[in-house]
Structure 1
Amino acid sequence: MTAPDTVRSIEDILAGARARLDRLHPYEVVDELRSGAVLVDIRPAAQRAAEGEVPGALIVERNVLEWRFDPASTARLPVASYGLRVIVLCSEGYTSSLAAASLHDLGVTRATDVIGGFRAWAAAGLPASGPLAIARI
């Protein structure tokens, strides 16, 4: 059976999401954080335990991200606002692109993500704790 004409592949969806974002290399995130951006780690607990964490990152797992950052949601975080610079972090920078684009759909249009995710962050020698951070030493 062939896919309907309206179906897009995940590669197409990812490319569309990324076309809407001003994605950041890990080293660019540091300046953004100094300017008031919020780094949001969306990885599940098991993945953070296996890979490590970024000190100071806000932990909001992927399954609740939109509810926590939609300024109109009753389940929003106090920091949530339409003008907030949200930088989403996942393991390798795929899920984070889709998540940041979803925040754009909610009107949080300054949202973006980290190219290469936590793995690139740790490889760049940026502050991190856990197995991947230790492996780079």
Structure 2
Amino acid sequence: MPQAITKGYKALVSEAESQIETLSVEAAQALHGRDDVVFVDLRDPRELEREGRMPGAFHCPRGMLEFWIDPESPYAKPVFQEDKRFVFFCGGGWRSALAAKTAQEMGLKPVAHVAGGFTAWKKTGAPVETSAIDRKA
């Protein structure tokens, strides 16, 4: 008999978005480059290589988020101890909604996420860095 999933990803993302701030790409662009804002890229390293990066964003693979935020964790990253605003993004906005909700529940604040993620960021012509390998092609 198959598993009976009682709450799917759509419900989880919707629930998260009702509890966190969601920024449009335009609003995110207005914050980009500010000293008091940290953009957190949750994508897999392969996605970064394939799609490019947001200049200046801090890369935190989604699977490490909780461990990098918690100062008690042996994996804690100093960036998450800074008194800044944290703006999460992923490829399409689902992982970042869940991540921002989790970060907020852990006490990180203020947090937000970018609607549509890096895909939407790229589509608007916002700044993107590509690897040296990509530039040679």
Same fold (TM over 0.5): yes
Which position in structure 2 is the counterpart of 1:15? 14
Take 2:112 and 2:70, find their aligned partners in 1: how far apart are those partners?
15
Matched residue of 1:40: which SS?
strand
Take 1:24 and 1:98, find their aligned partners in 2: how far apart are those partners?
14
Which position in structure 1 is the counterpart of 2:44? 44
Which position in structure 2 is the counterpart of 1:88? 88
Take 1:31 and 1:71, find their aligned partners in 2: how far apart are those partners?
30
Q: Which aligned runs of 4 or more in structure 1 are off by greater than 4 angstroms?
A: none
Q: State the 1:129 CA deviation.
A: 2.4
- Please give the per-residue CA displacement for 1:66-111, whole angstroms capped at 9, x wherever unaligned: 1112244342211223853111111111111111111111111422
Take 2:83 and 2:54, find their aligned partners in 1: how far apart are those partners?
23
Q: State the 1:31 CA deviation.
A: 3.1
Which position in structure 2 is the counterpart of 1:32? 31
Residue segments in structure 2 that go unaligned for 5+ positions in a row: none
TM-score, structure 2 as length reference: 0.82
Which position in structure 2 is the counterpart of 1:59? 59
Take 2:36 and 2:16, find their aligned partners in 1: how far apart are those partners?
24
Residue segments in structure 1 that go unaligned for 5+ positions in a row: none
Residues 82, 107 of structure 1: 8 Å contact kept: no
Asked if residue 107 in structure 1 is aligned to residue 111 in structure 2, the reply is no
Residues 70, 108 of structure 1: 8 Å contact kept: no
Q: State the 1:21 CA deviation.
A: 1.1
The two structures, once aligned, show a CA RMSD in angstroms of 2.4
Take 2:43 and 2:117, find their aligned partners in 1: how far apart are those partners?
10
**Number of equivalences:** 130
Of 92-101 and 27-36, deviating more is 27-36
Take 1:71 and 1:23, find their aligned partners in 2: how far apart are those partners?
26
Using a 3 Å threshold, how does the CA distance of structure 1 residues 52 and 82 change in structure 2: closer, same or farther?
A: closer
